[in-house]
Chain A
Amino acid sequence: MKRYSVFAIAREALSHHQGWERAWKSPLPKASYDAVIIGAGGHGLATAYYLGKNHGIRNVAILEKGWLGGGNTGRNTTIIRSNYLQDPSAALYEKARSLYETLSQELNYNIMFSPRGLLMLAQTHHEVRGYLRTVHANNLQGVSTKWITPERVKQLVPIINIDGPRYPILGALYQARGGTARHDAVAWGYARACSDMGMDIIQQCEVTGVRSENGQVTGVETSKGYIGTKKLGIVVAGHSGQVADMAGFRLPVESMALQALVSEPIKPCMDVVVMANTVHGYMSQSDKGEMVIGGGTDGFNNYTQRGSFHHIEETLRALVETFPMISRLKMLRQWGGIVDMTGDRSPIISKTPLGNCFINCGWGTGGFKAIPGSGWAMADLMARGEPGPLAAEFDMWRFREGRFIDESVAAGVAH
């Protein structure tokens, strides 16, 4: 792999930029691998990357039914934060956030991590108490967050209306090192690094069946033929239920549509991320100038990557009240992704009833921020066959035993 650098740009300029190599190879699948990962979204690619980097397992294939990064990884609103309430979540999301800090350097790929600061607005007294509790929890967990007053909110976000008629702003939970990153670049950067380690990323290769013998996984049927493997990682987000069914088990997961939209580009007007959970909306401004907007999920099972219009309407109605200046903006694009929702709104990184088959799913509306930490924990689980400290609490049997990692309160809105 030729490294990207300012010198490389100068050198390639001499040959009219014709000499850049492809970022990753597109090989045909081999007959078998030491490990196969289903799903080349951020989580699948990061899992492969840390399998190679942290555990030296490089005879790995990543199978993707569409194109890499074309699932939720390429459809999300890129919010990165780690201000969760429960200890296991804080540990996992903070690991991810801290890995994001140096990911561009590590991958030699500009993922445009922008720790611009993130505010979660409190608009009811209940929320004020909830966020104060989160601040205290975060401080004990070593996650740097603080409570700020409405006046400070107004300083940080001049375009905000702090005394709206229905939901005045009573303060905010502020994480100064939260922010955004370029979603596609995260997938592309990991993919390039995986390919460089000799791993095979096989796109347009849909897994249609899982084969096993004596309770141990032996391989997968795909649209490109049978591929044998010693270990299998299922990392398919919205399609987790479908692939789990192939592997012979059910999950506590429901797949639903979550939408986002962007406005026409405007001059820089907001340099932080603002989330308003009570009214179900959040917004940030992309480097292109578009206002990036998201809201809540639809309430019913759906695989169409298309959501209901009334959700968009509700989200925009709430945001117009909070940011009156956006009332005259035109919205340019709207899209949906299929998110995998668990009952406690926490992910699953787990062994499964099938031997040597592991699953990473349930990130629902908020897994972009977790990609590096999740890949790290999943690689550890797959390499050793047992979860490490990061994944230990996130097994799929926690539901049976009532060990919920309840983040449904901390994350009232999708992000």
Chain B
Amino acid sequence: MLILSCPYCGIDAEETELAPGGEAHLKRFGPGSDDDAFEAYMFARKNPKGVHFERWRHAYGCGKWFLAARCTATLEVFGTYPAQSTEPPVEIVEKIKAKRPEWKGFS
């Protein structure tokens, strides 16, 4: 069972209280961008086996979106942080590096 703590209300929310929202930190390409960039933004996904950054919503709680760093191979959670972040916070990155030395880093 997946438990993520909501960075807004501080509650340790269990999976049934949360709604998953897919890969985090996607850079949005809208009208006027070239086809490659638009396709990559809309469809191409990292889908990594290992460290992953995701969007989640505290659907049956405060209702807000937040981000989570998680390992898809073990279900270990490294941490959660506010949705306003453009990249994972340093503490979480350091924590992941300590636990997963082979991780290539956030890009």
Contact = CB atoms under 8 A, between A and B. Distances in A.
A255 interface: yes
B75 A302 contact: yes
A7 interface: no
Closest 9 CB pairs of A and B: A241-B47, A252-B43, A250-B44, A300-B20, A299-B20, A400-B39, A399-B43, A303-B49, A301-B72
A252 B45 CA distance: 6
Interface stretch (A97-105, A304-312, A371-379): A304-312
A241 B72 contact: no
Interface string B6-44: 000000000110011010000000000001000110111
Nearest to B22: A254
B54 A301 contact: yes
B73 interface: yes
B49 A242 contact: yes
| Size bracket of the B interface | 20 to 34
B54 A308 contact: no
A251 interface: yes
A301 B43 contact: no
B2, B40, B75 pick with most chain A CB within 10 angstroms: B75
A118 interface: no
Nearest to A300: B20
A241 B50 CA distance: 12
A253 B75 CA distance: 19
| Size bracket of the A interface | 20 to 34
B22 A308 contact: no
Nearest to A255: B47
Classify the interface of chain A: helix, strand, loop or mixed.
Answer: mixed
A301 B40 contact: no
A95 interface: no
A300 B74 CA distance: 13
A239 interface: yes
Contact of A253 (B1, B45, B54, B73): B45
Contact of B16 (A242, A251, A254, A310): A310
Given A299-B20, A308-B1, A400-B35, A250 B74 contact: no
Contacts of A343: 43
B69 to A, nearest CB: 12
Interface in B68-91: 72-75
Contacts of B49: 239, 241-242, 255, 303
B52 interface: yes
B48 interface: yes
B15 to A, nearest CB: 6
B46 interface: yes
Contacts of B48: 241-242, 245, 301
B19 A399 contact: no
A393 B91 CA distance: 46
A239 B47 CA distance: 9
A304 B42 contact: no
A139 B39 CA distance: 35
A334 B20 CA distance: 23
A303 B48 CA distance: 9
